[in-house]
Amino acid sequence: MTFLFLLFFPKLAHPVTLPTLNIGLENTDDPSKVATLLEVLFFLTILSVAPAILLMTTSFTRLIVVFGFLRQAIGTQQMPPNQVLLGLALFLTFFIMYPVWNQANKVSIQPYLNDEISLSTALKRAEEPIKDFMFRQTREADLKLFATMAGIKDPKDKGDIPLVVLTPAYMISELKTAFEIGFILYIPFLIIDMVVASVLLSMGMMMLPPVLISLPFKLLLFVLVDGWHLLVGSMVKSFF
């Protein structure tokens, strides 16, 4: 059997050479090599926390929280599935954040890749469009809360607020906005539940769960008003 296999595949009879990868540490007197190594480690660290950065500095939080409230208000349990809602929120985040990321790419990433600016300068330039976006969505009371806890008194301009202070203020502002939108979403569906429950109670059908009757009406209402168009359009416009 081995003879026949080698007869039809003669190339496999010769030894196969495979590439090798060597990783090690060595002494050097060149500071540029050390700086390059530190930059690589920095970028690997950024990649490891990229999901957290996406959650904390973009529109993703507001979108996914509102979509969760919508699903609970309608009462469709796991429809749409979590994967669908996460995918929709993610791509809407890309759409909303594209102007911000494009500006950061122009003023920071491209000049750095062209060796026109240093890494520290690139990071400072990349922060500016992101911070401008976050400042527009952050409430003054939330920003003042974290600035006071960080020991920053009477900041003169936005440059005095570091990103480590702005990020938690932006997060709780987004959560508050999402809860406000969720409350408004609940009202029409809650009215339908109350009406259906009252009708069933008046008819003496107390053993019939009102959800079985109200769910089709809530779905019909959401479809008739083109709910996805109104909700997504309103939320995207709220960021601009």
Per-residue pLDDT of the chain (240 residues; tens, 9 = 90+): 544 444 444 444 455 555 554 555 555 555 555 556 666 676 677 677 777 777 788 888 889 999 988 888 888 877 888 888 888 898 998 899 888 888 888 888 787 777 777 777 877 887 888 888 888 888 888 888 888 887 777 777 777 788 888 888 899 999 999 999 889 888 888 888 888 778 777 777 777 676 777 788 888 888 888 888 888 888 888 887
**pTM, rounded to two decimals:** 0.73
Residue 6 included in any domain: no
Note whether residue 163 is domain-resident.
Answer: yes
Q: What SS3 string covers 109-169?
A: HHHHHCCCCCHHHHHHHHHHHHHHHHHHHCCHHHHHHHHHHCCCCCCCCHHHCCHHHHHHH
User: Is 102 contained in some domain?
Assistant: yes
* Structure-token match 């920003």, residue found: 143
Domain assignment present for 75: yes
Domain presence at residue 82: yes
Is the CB of residue 159 less than 8 Å from the CB of residue 132? Answer: no
Q: What are phi and psi of 238, to 5 degrees?
A: -70, -15
Sort 206 into a burial class: Cβ within 10 Å, 0-12 / 13-18 / 19+.
exposed
Residue 205 phi, psi (nearest 5) = -95, 65
Domain extent for 137 = 55-185+228-237
What pLDDT digit, counting tens, does each position of 48-83 carry?
A: 777 777 778 888 888 999 998 888 888 887 788 888
Q: How many domains does the chain have?
A: 1
Q: What is the pLDDT of residue 124?
A: 81
Asked if residue 212 is part of any domain, the answer here is no
How far is the C-alpha of 107 from the C-alpha of 78, rounded, in Å? 43
